[in-house]
Amino acid sequence: VGRRVIQHLAGFGPRLLANDLEPDLAFGAKHDVRWVDKEQIYKEADILTLHLPLTPITKHLITARELRLMKPEALLINTSRGNMIDERDLADALQSNRLAGAAIDVFHQEPYSGPLANIETCLLTCHMGSMSQDCRLRMEVEATEEVLRFMRGEPLRQPVPEYEFRMRESGRSLR
């Protein structure tokens, strides 16, 4: 998803910063992406979007500490997974104008009924980022095709990266 967002934004000419455990340097070069550490993204991004799986390393990725690093005019978007952003810390940052706004589609507990619901600068949607018919159909077809490849002993097209398994086994976190 992150790659598609980058491809869409490339036409607008923004300076794109990205972070990944295994950066695709060729893709980055093609789309003028600068691979940087997370702290640099927090400090420099005008709009920060999350496109990550929920793992021990991404759980509580953004807390009060990271929000304090962000520019007051920055926007934060999370359409990937809940539990990546501390929702109370985000509410505090928005209410005290330390962050200009947020758009959140996924939450720690759904349906959501926390403090973000009463903040005008926070757009909340109900975990519907993949709720179009074409997206759901594509997800079902791709999952079925992967199962068939597995059953036939063929290489998978979208395997879970090995580092995901290593992280889960070690219980590794960012802190």
Options 31, 51, 88, 127, the catalytic residue: 127
Distance (Å, rounded) from C-alpha 92 to C-alpha 87? Answer: 9
Cβ-proximal residues to 132 (8 Å cutoff; 6+ apart), any chain: none
CA-wise closest residue to 127 among 63, 70, 83 = 83
The β-bridge relationship of strands 47-50 and 33-35 is unpaired
Options 39, 110, 140, 154, the catalytic residue: 110
Residue 127 bears catalytic tag: yes
Distance (Å, rounded) from C-alpha 171 to C-alpha 40? Answer: 25
Distance (Å, rounded) from C-alpha 109 to C-alpha 142? Answer: 28
Which DSSP string corresponds to 34-75? Answer: EE--HHHHHHH-SEEEE-----TTTTT-B-HHHHHHS-TT-E
Residue 146 bears catalytic tag: no
Residue 73 bears catalytic tag: no
109: DSSP letter: S
| Residues identified as active-site | 81, 110, 127
